C-alpha cells in the first residue's frame, strides 16, 4: 500500500506511475483520495480543538470549585457535556474517513520503478538476458512429444484420475513422476539453504489479514480459493504466509537481511483460463512451488533483487534448461510489484517459452500494509523492503525437463538431480 503522505507530497509522480501501470483515470482516483484526506485532516483539526477546549474547561472547573464559584463551574460543566457530544460525533466521522481512505489506498497499485519499461502487455516486456544454451534454441529430432503425451507414454502423471477425485487442473503424480517431483523440491530447498536461506514450513491457509498484508486482497480475491465456514483462504503462493510472519514486527537491525525459503502447494482458481497454452502442466489449480523471500533495508533492496535473480538463474543453469529473463513492462507487472523479472524456459516440444519464476521487489508496498519496520541508525522507525521469487515453480519446470530431454531410449534427466531421484532416465 502506498503511503498517503507520499501521495500527498508526490501527486504528479504518483499519477505518472499509475499511468505507466495502465490504471484508468488515475487523476480522478488521486484527486478523490486527496479530497477525502483533506476532509479527514480538517475533521482531525476540529476534533483536536474540541479536545483542547474540553481539557481547558476541566481545569477551569476545578479552579472555580476551589474558589467557591459553584454556579460558574456548573455552567462550564454543561459546556463540557456539549463538547463531549461533539467530540464523539467528530471521532465517528474521523473513523469513517480513515476507513474509507484505507479502502481507497488498498485499490491503488504500487508504483513502478524507473527502470520498468512502458508497455500495455506481455508483448512489450524486455528481454534482458538470454542463457548460453538459449542463444540457439534447441531443436528435437524426429517427432518430439509434448509433455501431456509423454506422461501418458511413461505413465508418470494422470490427469484423468485428478479429474475423478477433484476436477480439472489437479493432476496425480505417480511412480517416477512423483519421485521426480519430490527430487526437484529437495534439490531446490537444498540449494536455497546453501545460499543462506532459512527453511520455513508455513500453513497453507491464511486469514483475511494475511491476504491484505501482502496485497493478494482485495486485488486477487476472485483467484483465491475461500473456505467460507472458517473465513480462510488457500494460499496462492508461500510468499503470503512467510512474509506475514513479520506482520506488526519491528525487526532488529542485526537480524537484517531476513532470508527465508519455503516449499508449499499453491492454489489458484485461474478463472477464465483456457486454450492450448494452458494444456497439461502449463496451468494448474494446484501446484508445488519453492519460494524465496527476503526482507531488507531500503538501500539494499535492488542489490538484493539482482542477487535473487542471479540465484534463480544458477538453478536453471544446473538443470541445463535454456532460459531467458524478462523485465516486465508497466502494463504487465503485478499490482504489488515495483520491479519484476520473469524467468522463462524454452520448451523444444511446444516450441514456446514457459514462465517458471517471477522475482519481484515490492519496496515498502507490502511493508506498509504489514507495519513491518526497523529502527534506523538515528532511532527513527522506518518501513522495510520486501522481495520474493519462485525458486522454482514445479509444473513448467517438469514439463520442460520431460520435453527437452526426451530421446528414443527415454527421458534422460540432468545429472544434478540423479542423486535426488535415484535414477537417471524415465523409460
Are 269 and 286 in contact, with CB atoms under 8 Å apart?
no
Strand 373-375 with 250-251, pairing:
parallel
Residue 269: closest CA among 175, 188, 190, 170: 170
CA distance 151 to 143: 16
Q: How far is CA 27 from CA 32, 113, 131, 199, in A?
A: 9, 19, 41, 44
Residue 413: closest CA among 397, 401, 395, 427: 401
Q: Is 237 known as a binding-site position?
A: yes
What letter would DSSP give residue 55? H
Q: Is 344 known as a binding-site position?
A: no
Q: Is 141 known as a binding-site position?
A: no
- Angle, vertex CA 109, rays to CA 100 and CA 22, nearest 5: 120
Q: Is 240 known as a binding-site position?
A: no
Are 23 and 29 in contact, with CB atoms under 8 Å apart?
yes
Are 293 and 361 in contact, with CB atoms under 8 Å apart?
no
Q: Is 291 known as a binding-site position?
A: yes
Q: Cell numbers at residue 413, please?
A: 534427466
Q: Is 269 known as a binding-site position?
A: yes
Residue 39: closest CA among 100, 107, 97: 97
Residue entry with cell 519499461: 117
Q: Is 388 known as a binding-site position?
A: yes
Q: Cell numbers at residue 206, please?
A: 491464511
CA distance 191 to 200: 14
Q: Which residues make up each annotated binding site?
A: 237, 268-270, 291, 355-358, 388
Residue numbers belonging to the annotated binding site for L-serine = 237, 268, 291, 388
Per the annotation, binding residues for ATP are: 268-270, 355-358
Amino acid at each position: 500500500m502506498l503511503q498517503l503522505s507520499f501521495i500527498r507530497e508526490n501527486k504528479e509522480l504518483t499519477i505518472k506511475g499509475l499511468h505507466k501501470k495502465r490504471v484508468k483515470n488515475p487523476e480522478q482516483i488521486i484527486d478523490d483520495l486527496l479530497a477525502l484526506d483533506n476532509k479527514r485532516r480538517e475533521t482531525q483539526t476540529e476534533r483536536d480543538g474540541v479536545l483542547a477546549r474540553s481539557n481547558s474547561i476541566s481545569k477551569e472547573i476545578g479552579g472555580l470549585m476551589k474558589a467557591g464559584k459553584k454556579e460558574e463551574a456548573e455552567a462550564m460543566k454543561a459546556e463540557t457535556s456539549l463538547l463531549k457530544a461533539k467530540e464523539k460525533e467528530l471521532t465517528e466521522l474521523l473513523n469513517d474517513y480513515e476507513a474509507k481512505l484505507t479502502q481507497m489506498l488498498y485499490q491503488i497499485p504500487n508504483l513502478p520503478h524507473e527502470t520498468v519499461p512502458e508497455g500495455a502487455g506481455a508483448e512489450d516486456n524486455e528481454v534482458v538476458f538470454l542463457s548460453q544454451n538459449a542463444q540457439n534454441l534447441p531443436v528435437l529430432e524426429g517427432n518430439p512429444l509434448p509433455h501431456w503425451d509423454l506422461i501418458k507414454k511413461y505413465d508418470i502423471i494422470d490427469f484423468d484420475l485428478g479429474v475423478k477425485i477433484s476436477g480439472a487442473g489437479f493432476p496425480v503424480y505417480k511412480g517416477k513422476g512423483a519421485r521426480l517431483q519430490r527430487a526437484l523440491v529437495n534439490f531446490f530447498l537444498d540449494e536455497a539453504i546453501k545460499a543462506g536461506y532459512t527453511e520455513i514450513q508455513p500453513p497453507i491457509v491464511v486469514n483475511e489479514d494475511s491476504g491484505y498484508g501482502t496485497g493478494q486482497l482485495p486485488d486477487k480475491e476472485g483467484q483465491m480459493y475461500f473456505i467460507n465456514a472458517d473465513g480462510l483462504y488457500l494460499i496462492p503462493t508461500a510468499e503470503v504466509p512467510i512474509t506475514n510472519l513479520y506482520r506488526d514486527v519491528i525487526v532488529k537491525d542485526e537480524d537484517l537481511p531476513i532470508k527465508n525459503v519455503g516449499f508449499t502447494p499453491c492454489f489458484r482458481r485461474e478463472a477464465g483460463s483456457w486454450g492450448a497454452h494452458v494444456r497439461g502442466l502449463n496451468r494448474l489449480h494446484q501446484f508445488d512451488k519453492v519460494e524465496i523471500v527476503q526482507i531488507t533495508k531500503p538501500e539494499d533492496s535492488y542489490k538484493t533483487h539482482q542477487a535473487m535473480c542471479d540465484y534463480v538463474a544458477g538453478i536453471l543453469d544446473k538443470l541445463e534448461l535454456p532460459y531467458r529473463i524478462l523485465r516486465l513492462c508497466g502494463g504487465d507487472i503485478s499490482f504489488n510489484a515495483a520491479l519484476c523479472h520473469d524467468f522463462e524456459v524454452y520448451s523444444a516440444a511446444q516450441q514456446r517459452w514457459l514462465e517458471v519464476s517471477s522475482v519481484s521487489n515490492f519496496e515498502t508496498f507490502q511493508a506498509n500494509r504489514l507495519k513491518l519496520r526497523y529502527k534506523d541508525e538515528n532511532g527513527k522507525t522506518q518501513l522495510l523492503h520486501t522481495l520474493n521469487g519462485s525458486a522454482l515453480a514445479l509444473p513448467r519446470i517438469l514439463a520442460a525437463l520431460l520435453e527437452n530431454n526426451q530421446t528414443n531410449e527415454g527421458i534422460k534427466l540432468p545429472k544434478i538431480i540423479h542423486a535426488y531421484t535415484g535414477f537417471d532416465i524415465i523409460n
